Amino acid sequence: MNEITTTGEKKLVLVTGRSHPELAVDVAENLGTELLETEIRPFANGEIYVRYSESVRGSDVFVLQSHCTPINEWVMEQLIMIDALKRASAKRITVIAPFFPYARQDKKHRGREPISARLMADLFRTAGADRIITVDLHTSQIQGFFDGPVDHLVALPTLAGYVKDNYGGSSLAVVSPDAGRIKVAENWSEALGGVPLAFIHKTRDIDRPNESKANRVVGDVEGRMCVLVDDMIDTGGTIVQAADACMNAGAKGVIIVATHAVFSGPAVERLENSCAEEVIVTNTLPIEDDKKFGKLTELSIAPLLARAVHEVFEDGSVTSLFDI
């Protein structure tokens, strides 16, 4: 025979940047492994240096980074980590970006604007990424921006499970904060047993980001506990106005549910002082101690990420994770 065969086994390696080490440790624990020790430090002028402590040649490497503030630094750090892995002969490199950077800039509203989400996908690919794992993209079409497989995970089973356990005895209604996310609300309604749907009619000024005005509730929420669902909470203005609109429409109460707790600017103060009884989020992004408040409940996304990593590594089915 003229062929050479090997008996080597596949090797899974998990590495992380510096933005959210607690999440990375949780994912590693759920996988039953440890993080590969990585030296990451800044130079005096702000440039980033990365070096891995062990060989990654032939390994299936997963690079985890949560893109919180300062987002541009964490994006650049992850790109450099990917480049280092590519030059160290990693067999496959998978980006784990629980909160995809620049996801809200997914299309042009006016002339001479960028499509920054597409740029992020191109940067990951050029750096050497073969695959992306992310959670609850702002818009699903971002999956098509990356020239390779994208595993788009949903936090719905995790969040809906908590809502059912704690509010299952109440008369519920699922409310979308705008008409554009009604499909997500439909999925929530199905997950909660077919409860009624409603949405908030709102207007937004494209010249003033992070600002919108909730006008009225479309749908019947009177006497019901409203589950107000969105993919993220940034400054909190939209979601708090939506909660007020629900109460003005005769709702019994409101709970706010979102995957990504961006919590910029006045978000914490707005949420804490809002009419919502509870604010439920996941830990896709780190929440600093000064941004935690009494109404806040933080659920771990680590088990979902770990299961996705396991399925990708074992060439299994990621779709099976979406079953509720």
Q: Which residues are catalytic?
A: 202
How far is the C-alpha of 285 from the C-alpha of 300, rounded, in Å?
10
How far is the C-alpha of 203 from the C-alpha of 230, rounded, in Å?
16
Sign of CA dihedral 22, 27, 157, 19: positive
**C-alpha distances in Å from residue 154, one per residue of 36, 39, 138, 206, 286:** 27, 32, 11, 28, 18
**C-alpha distances in Å from residue 196, one per residue of 32, 178, 277, 280:** 41, 16, 20, 20
SS3 content of the chain, % helix, strand, coil (to 5): 35, 25, 40
Residue 45: Cβ within 10 Å count: 5
Q: What are phi and psi of 188, to 5 degrees?
A: -65, -45
Full DSSP string of 88-154? TT-SEEEEEESS-TTTT--S-SSTT---HHHHHHHHHHHHT--EEEEES-SSGGGGGGSSS-EEEE-
Is residue 87 helix, strand or coil?
A: helix
How far is the C-alpha of 194 from the C-alpha of 190, rounded, in Å?
5
